[in-house]
């Protein structure tokens, strides 16, 4: 399945990136999405363009998408799409945003494509075939000591509120005390890409959806890294917690994240 499906995934990620660049030049409108999130017309336009093309080329494939275009959930082949990850960054003019497209067969991610349109970086992973950025092979970092690590995460909201989620806040404080630097970039997709290419040594975050992690998790794995839940279970896109690392510091970080607050 990889040939035509992979090529379409790449084309659609870049097409969505074109939409994002053009829309930002013309000006965008921001609308609230729940208590603590936002959405723009660009999110919807990107998703509609991606879904329309998949439906035309592969009408028997299923789609799971952030902005509501989910269909055909019983199909063997599923496209898992975040048309614009880092919407808040995008709305504020940051380059830290992008497109995430994964393709799964029988529940296993086979293809992951991430595109950062404002820096023109295209990340591609194929199961068993490695990971690359702009056609160049990439690999995770070689850092072995937690105290030398650059780690990314996010300060997340408690469900239904604008208050910090207590357990994640505790995780951040514990990790901050153990690593060289802790960063919050506001874009899960590109944080996972940065773990895969060695710019970050690890990334963790709770409360995520399948479209946030499906492509990026494969990218990290194919770049030689490790991905799991906070408690060390193998990563599943349906699980809301993710820990991705270069592998060397995975156990140390997992130990911190598995620790309950006193």
pTM of the model: 0.94
CA torsion angle 59 41 110 61 (round to 10): -10
User: CATH classification of 146-257, choosing from 3.30.479.30, 3.40.190.80, 3.40.1160.10, 3.40.50.300?
Assistant: 3.40.190.80
pLDDT in tens, the chain (262 residues): 579 999 999 999 999 999 999 998 888 777 777 666 668 888 899 999 999 999 999 999 999 988 787 888 889 999 999 999 999 999 999 999 999 999 999 999 999 999 999 999 999 999 999 999 999 999 999 999 999 999 999 988 877 777 888 999 999 999 999 999 999 999 999 999 999 999 999 999 998 999 999 999 999 999 999 999 998 999 888 888 999 999 999 999 999 998 755 4
SS3 string, the chain, reads: CHHHHHHHHHHHHHHHHHHHHHHHHHCCCEEEECCCEEEEHHHHHHHHHHHHHHHHHCCCCEEEECCCCCECCCCCEEEEEEEEECHHHHHCCCCCCEEEEEEEECCEEEEEEEEECCCCEEEEEECCCEEEECCEECCCCCCCCHHHCEEEECCCECCCCCCECHHHHHHHHHHHHHCCEEEECCCHHHHHHHHHHCCCCEEEECCCCHHHHHHHHHHHHHCCCEEECCCCCECCCCCCCEEEECCCCHHHHHHHHCCCCC
| 228 DSSP β-pair partners | 234, 243
Task: Please give the radius of gyration of the chain, using alpha carbons only, rounded to the nearest integer.
Answer: 17
Domain 2-137 - what CATH class?
alpha beta
Q: Which tokens in the block code for residue 99?
A: 């497109």
The neighbour count for residue 143, using CB atoms within 10 Å, is 20
Domain definitions of the chain by residue range: 2-137, 146-257
Rounded Cα gap, residues 80 and 114, in angstroms: 12
């Amino acid at each position: 399945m990889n040939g035509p499906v992979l090529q379409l995934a790449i084309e659609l990620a870049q097409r969505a990136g074109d939409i994002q660049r053009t829309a930002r030049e013309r000006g965008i409108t921001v609308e609230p999405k729940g208590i603590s999130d936002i959405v723009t017309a660009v999110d919807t336009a990107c998703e509609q363009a991606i879904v329309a093309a998949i439906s035309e080329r592969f009408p028997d494939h299923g789609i799971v998408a952030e902005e509501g275009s989910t269909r055909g959930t019983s199909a063997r082949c599923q496209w898992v799409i975040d048309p614009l990850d880092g919407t808040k960054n995008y709305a504020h003019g940051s380059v830290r945003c992008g497109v995430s497209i994964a393709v799964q067969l029988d529940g296993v991610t086979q293809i992951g494509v991430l595109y950062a349109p404002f820096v023109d970086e295209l990340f591609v992973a194929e199961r068993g075939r490695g990971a690359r950025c702009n056609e160049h092979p990439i690999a995770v970092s070689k850092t072995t000591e937690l105290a030398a690590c650059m780690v990314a995460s996010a300060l997340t909201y408690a469900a239904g509120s604008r208050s910090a989620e207590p357990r994640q806040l505790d995780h951040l404080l514990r990790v901050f005390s153990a690593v060289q630097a802790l960063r919050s970039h506001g874009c899960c997709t590109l944080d996972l890409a940065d773990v895969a290419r060695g710019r970050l040594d690890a990334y963790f975050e709770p409360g995520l959806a399948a479209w946030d992690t499906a492509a990026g998790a494969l990218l990290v794995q194919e770049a030689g890294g490790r991905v799991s839940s906070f408690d060390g279970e193998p990563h599943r896109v349906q699980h809301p917690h993710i820990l991705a690392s270069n592998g060397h510091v995975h156990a140390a970080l997992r130990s911190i994240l598995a620790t309950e607050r006193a």
